[in-house]
Chain A
Amino acid sequence: MGLEFLRNNGAHRMRDDAMRPLLLDNDIAQEEEQQDEEQQIELSYERPADQWYPIDVSGATVPSDWNFRPTRFIDGKDLGRTVAWLQTEEGFPIPVRLSEIGAIVIHNDAGYLRRDWYIMERVVSMIVDPFPWDEIESFAAALQEEGFRLLQCQEPRGRLTYDFQEMRKATQNRSMDEMMRLEKQALMRSSDAPVLVDGRLGSRTGGFDELNTPVVGMIKGHQRNYLHPQGWRTYYDLHLGQRTPAFLLKQKNIDVVSWYLRLDGTPNDLPSWGIVRLEIPVPFFDQKLGRDWAYINRLSHLICQYRCKDKSYQRASVSLYPIQRAEECLGALFTGAETIINRFYSLTQL
């Protein structure tokens, strides 16, 4: 059967379409709450609540030969979309996502940013278990021969659902998850060099040595409430080059020291404009550095210096220019979504 699997199972092409709200999202909300409960937050790690106020790092002095200056920057990309959908015998909708995923390491070599290493591949993500094993085997093998890897998605929350958007989200999460695995490979390639990764450390554990690697994760979006009321007052009081006191996040995969830092913003901007959250591994900070708060100040100061000043770049306020460069480099290596999609349609005769 091979590449005809989709056509033979009545798959339809799908146009590019934004994600829609989930049809039945009550359970999902509950699940997210449960995930929140898995995290423990210790806000008094650096200072007790009544002593929380912005800490200015703009004056932190960083020796030119400081060993912990981030010189490698890692970013990943998942460029693709749901290109088709088919149904199981029971009528459950199965989205098929096609994407190019990749990760890159950019090295700051005495002020010159150059590409150190990269990886990219083409993947097809879908829930496969409702289909006959021999058809999926043949499909996976035929895709492999054409340079695509089939990613088997888990059913959302362990069961199929008639909610197409929920199935679609599960499929998208699978390719994102695979992209993060590529980022971990990039981290491995960076060895023990000081490195900054675009995103949370928790999803990249295993890619670095928690005790010895000076790794920092930078998170642009703020989806969870970690702070107490005084923490939020401090957060909104931050000016450019200021940070909140650090707090401890105990998570399932890794314990991190975290803090907020303002990279950009003027009084007329949104209150949270230009604020990023940073994470470093607890073992490195506690055991290797003996809780040296100067490290956090120096690191924050350097990150402010690395901030993206290209205002034409959409996410400039929360980006660093090496990360912007990494995104551009990786984007240039990709073939382009529509080209790949057309080839996929041709191969699968959809």
Chain B
Amino acid sequence: MSVSIPEAIAEVYHISAVPQPSGSRHVVLLADLLGGYNLTCTEIPSLTSEAASNFLLRRGAILEPLVNSNQERLAGYINVNSIGANIFVERADLIVRRRFSVAHELGHYVLHFLPLMDTGAFEQYEQFEIVEALAPFSSEEDADDLPTGQIYLPQRSALISSLPPYEQMEREANQFAAELLMPESVVRSLLDRYAASCRGDDLIWRLASEMLVSRSAMRWRLRNLGLLAVSTAQWN
């Protein structure tokens, strides 16, 4: 059932028929990538699972309130059922964080939920729900930690055993979001261009600005690629 992250990203581009960033464009067109899966994305102020549930009820997308919905503040949320999938993000978050939340939820969708549904675990027309709630980001823009979430499979808890452990799924969703929004080829190309004249936070700032991501996400990605030492070399 497991799909490698590069394979999953290649599949996302293939399905959506969106061109990969290249040349002068370094911003990934995430909204267009969602279109390939017919995923909707809604921005809600003061996002909670209850607010998402109420939104879906008003739209007629669900007939009963989501199980386990509550008032805990969230950065992102995805609800997958037999009809479709809906992503929600916190409206008050910075644009760069909202994009990361959406990419994180898309990661869960293509890495974990689609493969689960493809296993035939669900009968045709069977009502089911899979939910993932992404915790809010740190209030510090420079915080190095990426947020993690919690997955619920309310009606079919037996299926949980066919999914990877929670921590692994969260790591994978973050890795997916980072690789999707900051492709290695683009990061390396920008690093080649700017490393000679920018250092430390200035270089991270520059790269983040070019790719419309947060500085913390860019720092995480550089560390992940083993390039943080290059970027943060200071005068000695």
Contacts and interface: CB of A to CB of B under 8 A. Distances in A.
Interface of A: 119, 128-129, 131-134, 136-138, 140-141, 144-145, 147, 149-152, 181, 184-186, 188-189, 206-212
Contacts of A136: 95, 212
A137 B212 contact: yes
Given A144-B25, A181-B205, 13 more contacts: A133-B89, A138-B31, A140-B27, A145-B23, A152-B96, A152-B212, A181-B206, A184-B202, A188-B197, A188-B198, A206-B199, A206-B202, A208-B235
Given A133-B102, A206-B201, A152 B95 contact: yes
A58 to B, nearest CB: 34
Contacts of A138: 29, 31
Contacts of A152: 95-96, 209, 212
Most buried by B among A128, A149, A185, A207: A185
Nearest to A188: B197
A145 B24 CA distance: 6
Contact of A133 (B23, B43, B210): B43
A2 to B, nearest CB: 10
Contacts of A137: 27, 29-31, 95, 99, 212
Interface string B185-223: 000000000001111111001100110100000000000
B24 A144 contact: yes
Leading 10 A-B pairs by shortest Cβ distance: A134-B31, A209-B235, A185-B197, A141-B27, A133-B98, A144-B25, A188-B197, A133-B95, A140-B27, A145-B25
Contacts of B26: 144
Interface in B10-37: 23-27, 29-31
Contacts of B27: 137, 140-141, 144
A116 B30 CA distance: 40
Contacts of B43: 132-133
Would you call the interface of chain B mostly helix, strand, loop, or mixed?
Answer: mixed
A138 B235 CA distance: 38
Contacts of A131: 95
Given A133-B99, A133-B102, A181 B202 contact: yes
A289 B41 CA distance: 60
Contact of B30 (A134, A207, A209): A134
B41 A134 contact: yes
Contacts of A132: 43
11 contacts: A119-B197, A128-B95, A133-B98, A137-B29, A137-B31, A144-B210, A149-B209, A181-B198, A181-B202, A185-B198, A206-B199
B30 A151 contact: no
Contact of A210 (B197, B202, B205, B235): B235
Contacts of A181: 198, 202, 205-206
B24 A147 contact: yes
Interface in B95-119: 95-96, 98-99, 102
Contacts of B25: 141, 144-145
Contacts of A147: 24
Contacts of A189: 196-197
A145 B95 CA distance: 20
B143 interface: no
Nearest to A132: B43
B62 interface: no
B106 to A, nearest CB: 13
A207 B201 CA distance: 11
A212 B95 contact: no
Nearest to A131: B95
B121 interface: no
A164 B95 CA distance: 22
A165 B212 CA distance: 26
